[in-house]
Structure formats: structure tokens, C-alpha cells
Chain A
Amino acid sequence: MPIDFDMRNVRQFRPRVPGGTVLRVLAILAVVVLLFTTWFTVEPEEAGIVLRFGRFARQVPSGLHMKLPFPLERVLKVPIERQLKEEFGFRTQDAGGSRTSYSQEDLTSESLMLTGDLNVAVVEWTAQFRVREPSKYLFKVRDVRKTFRDMNETVMREVVGDRSVNEVLTVGRQEIAAEVEHRLQALCDQYENGIKVEQIVLQDVNPPDAVKPSFNEVNQAQQEREKLINQARADYNQIIPRAKGQAEQTIEQAEGFATDRVNRARGDAEAFNQVYAAYARAPEVTRRRMYLETMAEIYPKVTRKIVLDEKLKGVLPLLPLQGAAEVTP
């Protein structure tokens, strides 16, 4: 229904209330405030907690919502879908761009911890979490983030304190992260802070700086060991196959010799048998013939010949054999 706004009436009214203009401005302001505080938006990753006179009234999801105007109802927004992160032992300074830069400040007091064998390790990690129950997150624990950090440090040290330095530095990483996640969630539930621990990620896990070189030395020594062993194996592999080959050579040579020897023997025997067969047919003649033939062969070769009568005895020492001996060498 259109309002019949009679300006004359207003003018009429004016002299009776001198503060009328001021009141009107105040009234308009009040209306504006009321209007602007009756609707609110909740971002997609957030949840809205509406409080009436400070008391929790309702929780609303993302979107546009109405509430009673300002003094009566207030709204708090909590990012329940966003993954939040706490870092320990390091701080990401600028995660934008292609390169993440880290703060240079010394945070070893956060990351230095005692292992179960009373050694020291530097463990850096991040805790990723979400707010699961906004009303608990807001109203159960004061200073939730700081408390959460303290809980993290406590649990991590508890878990690392039950492991050897070797486990912490090498094989146990996964297990430690899982164990911390599990215990931290239990502690969150105990404290009713409304936090859901999503993931614990171990970052750099190192021995303390002062001890690092000696850890490297162990690695080096390990390499050295491998090197020495490999060298020895190389040497072995260089010598042994050759020796095997040479051994085979020796055996082959022996086989060769054996074949040679036996064949020669057979040949000689065969020759003898042949000669003997001939000889056996006429032994006496053959024997003489062979003797004489041999002599005939020999005599021409010899340049100095001395013939002695069979009756002469003991002349041998007198013979001029010296000359012959001198010629001989």
C-alpha cells in the first residue's frame, strides 16, 4: 500500500520537536545498520556460527544467510574446509611463485629432540589439520593454535623418545609420522578442541649439525668398503679366468705330448717289427750287412783314423791324442 507522504504534515511537526532532524538521521542510520547486519555470506570453505546474546544458536553452511540484527545476534566464521598447517623447526616464508623460500631464523629448539638411545636428532615436520567441530574449536579451548603446537611438540618427542637415532633418521620415518598422527588425534579428542589431524609429514630429519660430518663419514666409509671389495673382486676376476685358461693350455699340451709320445712309440715299434720281420728271415746275413753298412756310413765322416795291429798292446797312452783333443772343442 503506497504511503501518502504528506510534506505539510512533516513541516507542521517540525517546530514541535526541535531535535527532529537529528533523530531522523539517527533513525536512518539505525535502519541501515539493521539492514546490513541482518544478512551475511559464508564463504565456500567456511562455516558460520551464529551467537544470540553470546550464546551458540546455530551453525550455518556456506551461502547467504539471515540473522537478527547486530546487537542481538553475531556471527563467527570458521574455515572448516580449508586445510590448515603448522610448521615445526622451519617456517615457510614465501610459498608463492616457483620457489618456496624458508625463513633463516634458528628454530632448532623446536626441532631438537632426544632419541630413545639418548642421542640427539633434529626433526622437522608439518601438521596438516582441519577444524572439524567449529563450536568446540572456538569455545572449548583458549588459544587453540598455540595449544595445538604444544601438543605436536609433546607427541613428536614422545614418539621419537621411544626410538633409536637410527630409526628416526632412516627406517622409522613413516612409522613415526603415522604414530604421531594417531596419538595427536587422540589428544585432540581428549582436549575437545574440534581439530581433525589430517596428516603429519616429516620433513628434514637430520643429526645435529655438529654430528653431521661423522654421519657422512659413515656413508663414506660404507662407500669405501664397497670400493675395496669391488677392487678385490676385479682383481680376482682378472686373474682367475686367465689362470683357468692357462691350466687348460697346460693340459692340452700334455695331451698333445701324450699323443705324440704314443704315436712315436707305435711308429718305432712298427718300424722295428718290419725290420725284425726281414731280419728273422735271414738273421746272420742281415746282421752283418747292417753292421757293415753302418760302418761304411761312419768311416768316411771320420777324418783321423789310426789302425793298430792286434798284437800291439799298451800303445794307447803314446798316441798323439792331444792334437785331436785340441781340435775337438
Chain B
Amino acid sequence: MSPIRVVVAVIIALFALAVLSSAVYTVREGEQVIVTEFGKPVGRPITTPGMKLKMPFVQSVHTFEKRFLEWSGDPNQIPTKDKRFIWVDTYARWRISDPLKFFQRLHDESGAQSRLDDILDGETRNTIANHELIDLVRSTNRVLVVAEDVAELSQPEPAERVEHGRNKLTAEVLANARRRTGDLGIEVLDFRIKRINYVDEVRQEVYARMISERKRIAERYRSEGAGEAARIAGEKERQLRTIESEAYRTAQQIRGKADAEASDIYAAAYNRDPDFYRFLKSMGTLEKSFDKDTVLVLSTDSELLKYMNTAR
């Protein structure tokens, strides 16, 4: 074999390899493909994975994702209907439902992303501006549970009702977005609000409100404490007076009864001869009331001295 023939053989082999590699391609799991011939789409999009054949060189392959793709919203400052400024961060799921249309209208994923930005950001803005904040935060009218002892304090806006709820709002955005993306070869599958936050100034206000609310609750605890303490002090006072006065009353009753009984006893005894009693008592009193300093002025007519005269 001459060297020229070797070179020719190698060239032919390389050429065959090139043809083969241009004719064979694989579609991987999670991918879909359209084949174009000089830029013109040929046949239906290929959505099943595996090894495929095409015309070498004249046809080229464009691969697209078949999986669910993510679209992430630009965190955006949006006013709600009740004029509160909030940051809203959203995300959406979408997929390439019609690779051919997708290729024609949007060309590639970054084209799709920027179109989705336009549509979804716009719809988000519209929907949020048409609803109140509470509708965005809450999903249902579930009754909020608050601790019993702070119940009447910690619901500053109890009258607010949720008319739509977050899920309805996002469903609204999704429906509008779907309508507008229908002929782009993409399908928006889901749209959700990831984060909502107050803008800084509003957040400070909310914090201030939360602080004042807590302070109110704290004040209430304190005054409740003082009130309860005062009540107990009052009860103490009442109890004390009740106890003391009842004791006094009982004691007086006992004393009175004893006095009465004693009186009855005396009366029963002395009534047998009041005159004698009077005499006896007088004698006793006399005996007690005389001492050495007493000046005794006696008439000779007195019981004792009358014998002085008669004796004389």
C-alpha cells in the first residue's frame, strides 16, 4: 500500500465519520428538537428522546427544553389599590409547548424570558394595583386566632374582609398571561407570588404600629396587675373590717348577755328583801369610802351617838 493510498483512506474515513455524525443526533430525555433545512422547518417537532437520523449537512437541529422552566420576576415596587407600596417578588413556571412557534416567534429562551418579563410583570402590576393589600396577603377569610388575653387589643383592623384572596389574584394574572402567550408557542403553567414585603418607609410605619400595639398590651398588663393588686388590697380591707367588727359584735353580745344574766341573778336574790339589800350595800359602801382623811361630822342624834345622851 503506497503512502498516497493511506492518506486517501484516512480522508475517506474522516469524511464518512463527518457524514455519520451529521446524520445522527440524539434527543435526550427532557429535550425536544426541530429540524430545519436551510433555515426552513422540516416535519413535526421531535419530542421523544432517542437516537435519530437526518439529512447530513443540509439539515440542522435546534434543541429546546421540554422540562418545566422557571421565570423569576423582577422584585418590584408596586402600589396597591389602598395606596400601600410593597415589594412583590413573583415566579412562574412555563414550558415550550410548541417548539416550532417558539422558534419562529421567540427564537430562544432569553427571548422568551424577556417577553415573559413584559407580560407577567405588567399583569402583576395591573392586578395588584386593582386590589387591596389584604387581598394579596391572605388567601381565605379564616378567622385569625389570637391569644385570649390580648384579643381585643391585637386586631387593629378587624373589619377588613378578604374579597378575593391571593390565590384568586394569581389565578387572574395567570389567566391573562396565558391569553397573551397563546401564540408564542409557550404555555405558562403556574404563577405565584413568592415574597411580599413593605417598602422601607412603610415597614418603619408598620414596625412603629407593632411597637405601639405591644406597648398597649404591656400597659394593659401593668394596669391589670395594679388593678388586681388594688382589688386584693380592697378585699383585704373589707375582710379585716368584717372580721374585726364581727368579733366586736360577738364579744358585745356575749358581754351583754352575761350582764343581763348577772343582773337577773342579782335581782332574783335581792328582790327577796330590797330593803335589807339597800342596808347591806350601804354598809359595804360606807366601809369602803371612809379613810383617815375623812372628816366625820356626827350629830348626837345619830344612831350611834344617841346613846350618849340617853346614857347621860
Contact = CB atoms under 8 A, between A and B. Distances in A.
Interface in B249-294: 250-252, 254-255, 257-259, 261-263, 265-266, 268-270, 272-273, 276-277, 279-280, 283, 286-287, 290-294
B27 interface: yes
A225 interface: yes
Contacts of A51: 28-29, 49
B55 interface: no
A143 interface: yes
A161 B211 CA distance: 20
Contact of A310 (B150, B279, B299): B299
Contact of B30 (A139, A170, A227): A139
Interface in B65-114: 65, 67-70, 72, 91, 93
Interface residues of A, number: 126
B269 A273 contact: yes
Contacts of B133: 118
Most chain B beta carbons < 10 A, residue from A118, A120, A166, A262: A118
Interface in A216-249: 217-218, 220-222, 224-229, 231-233, 235-236, 239-240, 243-244, 246-248
Contacts of B146: 164, 166-167
Contacts of A232: 228-233, 236
B262 A308 contact: no
Is chain A's interface secondary structure helix, strand, loop, or mixed overall? helix
Contact of A261 (B224, B262, B279): B262
A261 B240 CA distance: 29
A259 B258 contact: yes
Given A251-B247, A290-B280, A154 B192 contact: yes
A17 B1 contact: yes
Given A191-B68, A262-B258, A290-B280, A55 B29 contact: yes
Interface residues of B, number: 121
B154 A117 contact: yes
Nearest to A261: B258
A244 B217 CA distance: 39
Given A117-B157, A120-B207, A224-B221, 15 more contacts: A54-B50, A117-B155, A147-B93, A161-B166, A167-B145, A236-B236, A239-B240, A257-B254, A258-B257, A261-B259, A261-B262, A262-B258, A268-B269, A294-B287, A301-B291
14 contacts: A54-B51, A115-B137, A158-B167, A161-B137, A163-B144, A224-B221, A258-B258, A260-B258, A262-B265, A283-B276, A287-B276, A294-B287, A298-B287, A316-B297
